[in-house]
Chain A
Amino acid sequence: MNKSVFLGVVAATTMVAGVASAQATLEAVKARGELICGSNTGLTGFGAPDASGNWVGFDVDLCRAVAAAIFGDPTKVKFVPTTGETRFTALQSGEVDVLVRNSTWTVSRDSELALDFVAVNYYDGQGFMVKKDLGVSSAKELDGATVCIQTGTTTELNLADFFKQNNISYQPVTVADDSEAQRQYLAGACDAYTTDASGLAASRATMPDAENHIILPEIISKEPLGPVVRHGDNNWGDIVRWTYYALLIAEEKGITKANIEEVATSSTDEEVKRLLGVSGEMGAKLGLDNAAFKNAIAAVGNYGEIFSANIGEGTAINLARGLNALWTQGGLQYAPAFR
């Protein structure tokens, strides 16, 4: 009896996990006719449904770009909301094809979780948000504070490290997702809310009294966020990676959503011609159409356009380019050579 209980347990676990397909992801996506993208449950500016139910945001646009590269149509993508806890299991089990959801690239996720981070689409760091009337100006003054923290994230571990290094104490309140954290924080159940600084800015933008909250100056960690695919299907990883780099190169070369047709016909720059599929067989090498990257850029615009439309200065989230400026402008965003 006990043995059968054990085996039943194994059974249940395995059936939920499903059969990881040995079939290449690209073929599966093409056969299905749509890309399934693991998204945030709702983080304004990065990935959230708008008033009419369409997913919009910085991360969402990258998914749309990949869909456009594969199908020539940015709408052929389904978004599956995942929490910090469920996201990697969803990817591993094949429930989603690619995860674009503010996920931090770490060595243990690369190795232990058998995932591949293909690029970094946002260089971020962990910060703290507090109410202005708390009178705190530095995270080091948070001794004894109650801190809201999303579970299943790297920020959980950074938080413990930060307080230990500074020899101060805190009381953690572990919550499942951003909206729950906001609720607890606004209700005063925690003094501070900590997550990636970009996430804090996005949360603050949705608060009714945004001006009463400040993000403390300390950035306590490196949080390179980027798209993730399953380990083992290198071609699929290459497709996501080079779609992202295509958006970067487009910004570098001044190709925008508006002028892309004109550039495609008139450009004499060989790299631009290869990128837009005018010459060479770059798309075909990845198993895509040669115009794949042109379609991607035409669908969502270049990296700079995506940034300023969703999270850049002037939007509600109002983030500066900072580290995410192109390398030519002193930032870290740098695409390898497209040849």
Chain B
Amino acid sequence: MAVASDVPKESFRLSMLIYDTRYRSITIQLFVLVLFALFLAWLLNNTAVNLATRGKEFNFGFLWQRAGYDIGQQLIPYTNDSTHFRALLVGLMNTLVVAILGCVLATILGVIVGVLRLSKNWLVSRLMTVYVEMFRNIPLLLWILLSYVILSETTPQPRDFRVTDEMAAAGEAPAATMMLWDTVAVTNRGTNIPSPLFDRGLGSLDIGFMTLNLTTLAYLAVIFGSIWVNHRILTAARTQQETTGDRPVTWWKSVLVLLGPVIALSVALGLHMEVPALTGFNFQGGILVAHSFTALVIALALYTAAFIAEIVRSGILAISRGQSEAAFALGLRPGRTMNLIILPQALRVIIPPLISQYLNLTKNTSLGIAVSYLDLRGTLGGITLNQTGRELECMLLMMLIYLTISLIISALMNLYNTSVQIKAR
């Protein structure tokens, strides 16, 4: 009887790496990986060779040298005797304040516009469409420049506010006057607003790398305390409503808890406002909000709000009509339906794309260089880079910082996203 011979035992041949589907994908991946590694090695080598030819070394020691230049807007104390690192921090704060303010304004405006765009009122919805399409389709840089030019060209020079002796004698009014009971002056350089001053401030505490302003800390503590107590009051009211069906009146308690302690603290510390006054070339005293800052925040907020509006609109449209019909059937008014039924569900759709809008806005703050706003790009990536000639170090550091900020925003927003997702029980 003839026995069928065994299938010859398969031995590994080199060609199998390409023709055998079991190995092929591994081969390709390995090949690409090696190519990529070679590419990186070439780049690193190129960098090293080029740095060596130019006699440059790679180190960050320059950050601790004296900066020597001045910065217009500084949220933390800085003089030209401070280090480049301090200038970096000042720039970073300037970047963050624009980013945070921009995100908040863009969200508020975006949600309102997005909801209004779905309005049954023909005029309102068309106006919102015009706004969204205008801002979405024109480059951000142009909006920044436009707001800056409008702010600086349509406002009076500081000297227009001056009342000379002759003018006083002739009873003439100056060309420009301050607004809001003579407390705010808008000049072609910026907006001068009053600043809070304390007769009996708490001073500040030096903790090595930075100084803490104790007055600010006291205010923060009091405000958070008030909010917490208010939260307790509302929770108690809700519990009572759920058990007895009777909701106690809480508004006067809330007002008292929220405002009382802050007012008491202000009186205790002797809070008063320092009003800007024209002396010499500029208004002195108070706080100067430069037009570069205002223009940047306005343009960023308006531009990003147009995108957020579209995200909100798509989020609302994603909720089935049955939801609002059910709400109407229960007798809820349209406003309540939107706030209680539609928006909470729409949030699940809105949050993920909203994160990338926040990231965009944050990165777009670097366009502030166009209106001479000294943010991180202007200090570290601009003047410091130029004065020290450390392009590679400054650029890498700047990229690392923007990357870190973006990742932090992503992480926080992802946390929030998880909290609004439907909890499957």
Q: Which residues of A does B touch, CB under 8 Å?
A: 5-7, 9-11, 13-15, 17, 19-20, 22, 84-85, 88-89, 92, 108-109, 112-114, 134, 142-146, 151-152, 156-157, 159-161, 163-164, 170-176, 187-191, 230-232
Contact = CB atoms under 8 A, between A and B. Distances in A.
Nearest to A160: B80
B70 A160 contact: yes
23 contacts: A7-B43, A11-B40, A14-B47, A15-B43, A19-B50, A20-B53, A84-B386, A114-B54, A114-B55, A114-B56, A134-B281, A144-B282, A145-B280, A145-B281, A146-B282, A156-B387, A171-B282, A172-B70, A173-B72, A176-B369, A187-B152, A189-B189, A230-B54
B383 A164 contact: no
Given A152-B386, A187-B188, A188-B157, A160 B279 contact: no
| Top 3 A-B residue pairs of the complex, sorted by shortest distance between their CB atoms | A152-B386, A160-B80, A113-B389
A271 B32 CA distance: 66
Which residue, B56, B389, B395, has most C-beta atoms of chain A within 10 A?
B389
Given A109-B389, A142-B281, A174-B382, 18 more contacts: A14-B43, A14-B47, A114-B55, A143-B280, A151-B382, A156-B383, A157-B387, A160-B70, A160-B80, A163-B70, A164-B80, A171-B189, A171-B282, A174-B372, A176-B369, A189-B152, A231-B55, A232-B53
Contact of A7 (B40, B280, B387): B40
Contacts of B396: 6, 9-10, 13
Contacts of B50: 14, 17, 19-20
A193 B87 CA distance: 23
B46 A14 contact: yes
Contact of A146 (B43, B68, B189): B189
Contact of A10 (B47, B55, B71, B372): B47
Nearest to B47: A14
B372 A175 contact: yes
Contacts of B72: 171-174
Given A13-B391, A13-B392, A85 B46 contact: no
B399 interface: yes
Contacts of A134: 281
Contact of A5 (B54, B71, B188, B403): B403
A146 B47 contact: no
Contact of A151 (B53, B68, B386): B386
A9 B386 contact: no
B382 A152 contact: yes
A6 B396 CA distance: 8
A230 B383 CA distance: 22
A230 to B, nearest CB: 8
Contacts of A17: 50, 391
B135 interface: no
Contacts of A160: 68-70, 80
Interface in B155-208: 157, 188-189
A175 to B, nearest CB: 6
A5 B46 CA distance: 18
A152 B56 contact: no
B69 A156 contact: yes
B401 to A, nearest CB: 12
A172 B40 CA distance: 42
A64 to B, nearest CB: 28
Contacts of B383: 151-152, 156, 174
The A interface, classified by DSSP as helix, strand, loop or mixed, is mixed
A112 B280 contact: no
B325 interface: no
Nearest to A130: B281
Contacts of B68: 157, 160-161
A145 B282 CA distance: 6
Given A143-B280, A145-B281, A174-B383, A92 B54 contact: yes
Contacts of A187: 152-153, 188
Contacts of B54: 20, 92, 114, 230-232
Contact of A22 (B53, B69, B80, B281): B53
B44 interface: yes
A128 B40 CA distance: 50
A19 B70 CA distance: 35
Which residue, B44, B68, B71, B288, has most C-beta atoms of chain A within 10 A?
B68
Contacts of A145: 280-282
A13 B372 CA distance: 24
Contacts of A113: 389
Which residue, A7, A92, A113, A230, has most C-beta atoms of chain B within 10 A?
A113
A189 B153 CA distance: 9
B19 to A, nearest CB: 31
Given A7-B44, A114-B54, A144-B281, A85 B188 contact: no
Contact of A174 (B56, B378, B389): B378
B284 interface: yes
A111 B143 CA distance: 41
